[in-house]
A and B are shown apart, each in its own frame.
Chain A
Amino acid sequence: MNLVLSPLGITLAVAFTVGLAGTLGWMLRVPPPAPRGATSSVRSVESIRKVLVPILDLGASVRAVELAARLNQGHKAEMVIVYVHEIPLQAPLAMPERDPRIQRALDAAAFIATQHAITPRTKVNVARQAGHRIVEIAREENADLIVMGISHQNRPNESPLGRVAEHVVRNAPCEVVVDRVPRQKVSLIPSEFN
Chain B
Amino acid sequence: MPPPPEGHHPVEGISGSELRRDVSVWGSYMWGYAAVGADIYTALGIITLAALGLAPLAFLAAGIVFALVGLCYAELASAYPLAGGGQYFTLRGLGDLSGLVAGAALVLDYTIDISLFTVVAFGYFNYFLPWITFGRHITDFTVTLGPIHLAWLWLVESVAGIVILIWLNVRGIKVSTNFNEIIGTIAIAAQTIIVLAGFVLVWDPGLVAHQILFHQPSLSEFAFGSSLAIIAFVGLETISQVAQETRRPATIIPRTSIGLVISVLLFAMAFSLLAIGMLDEHTGKPLDFHGHEGDPVALIAQNIPIIGVVAAPLTALIGFLIVFISANSGVVSSSRLSYSMSQFDLLPAWFSKVSKRFATPSRAVVVFGGVALLQTIFAFFTPGQPGKSAAIDVLADLYAFGATTGYLLVFISLFVLRMRDPFTPRPYKMPINIRITYKGNQVWFPVLGFLGFLGVLFFLIMVLLTHQYARIIGPLWVIAAVVLFILYRRKQGLPMFKTLPRDWETATKKVLLEAEEFKSLEEYEAALNEHRARTGEPGTNLPGTR
Contact = CB atoms under 8 A, between A and B. Distances in A.
B241 interface: no
Q: How big is the A interface, by class?
A: 20 to 34
Interface stretch (A2-10, A75-83, A95-103): A2-10
B285 to A, nearest CB: 12
B281 A27 contact: no
A184 interface: no
Nearest to B306: A1
Interface string B303-343: 00110000000000000000000000000000000000000
Contact of B273 (A12, A23, A42, A43): A12
A24 interface: yes
B248 A2 contact: no
Contacts of B270: 12, 16
A16 B526 contact: no
Contacts of A26: 255, 259
A106 to B, nearest CB: 31
Interface residues of B, number: 35
Interface string B253-291: 001101100110010001001000001010000000000
Nearest to B279: A2
B251 interface: yes
Contacts of A20: 192, 263, 266
Nearest to B192: A20
Contact of B266 (A16, A40, A43): A16
B523 interface: yes
Nearest to A23: B262
- Mostly, the A contact residues are helix
A30 interface: yes
Contact of B199 (A12, A19, A23, A42): A12
Contacts of B204: 4, 6, 9
B182 interface: no
B516 interface: yes
A33 B196 contact: no
A171 interface: no
A36 to B, nearest CB: 4
A30 B248 CA distance: 10
A27 B259 contact: yes
Nearest to A21: B192
Contact of A6 (B25, B195, B203, B516): B203
A23 B70 CA distance: 15
A44 to B, nearest CB: 9
Nearest to A29: B255
Interface in A1-57: 1-6, 8-10, 12-13, 16-17, 19-20, 23-24, 26-28, 30-31, 33-36, 39-40, 42-43, 47
A41 B34 CA distance: 40
Interface string B175-219: 000000000000000001001100111111100000000000000
Interface string A115-150: 000000000000000000000000000000000000
B141 interface: no
B522 interface: yes
A27 B273 CA distance: 26
B251 A43 contact: no
A1 B256 CA distance: 40
Contact of A27 (B248, B256, B516): B256
A103 B276 CA distance: 75
Given A2-B202, A9-B203, A9-B204, 8 more contacts: A3-B305, A4-B203, A5-B200, A12-B203, A16-B192, A19-B266, A28-B26, A39-B519
A-B pairs, 8 with minimum CB distance: A27-B259, A13-B199, A9-B203, A36-B518, A39-B519, A9-B199, A23-B262, A1-B305
29 contacts: A2-B281, A2-B305, A4-B201, A4-B204, A6-B205, A9-B200, A9-B203, A10-B199, A12-B203, A12-B273, A13-B195, A13-B196, A16-B195, A16-B196, A20-B266, A23-B263, A23-B266, A26-B259, A27-B25, A27-B255, A27-B256, A30-B25, A33-B248, A33-B251, A33-B516, A34-B518, A35-B518, A40-B522, A43-B519
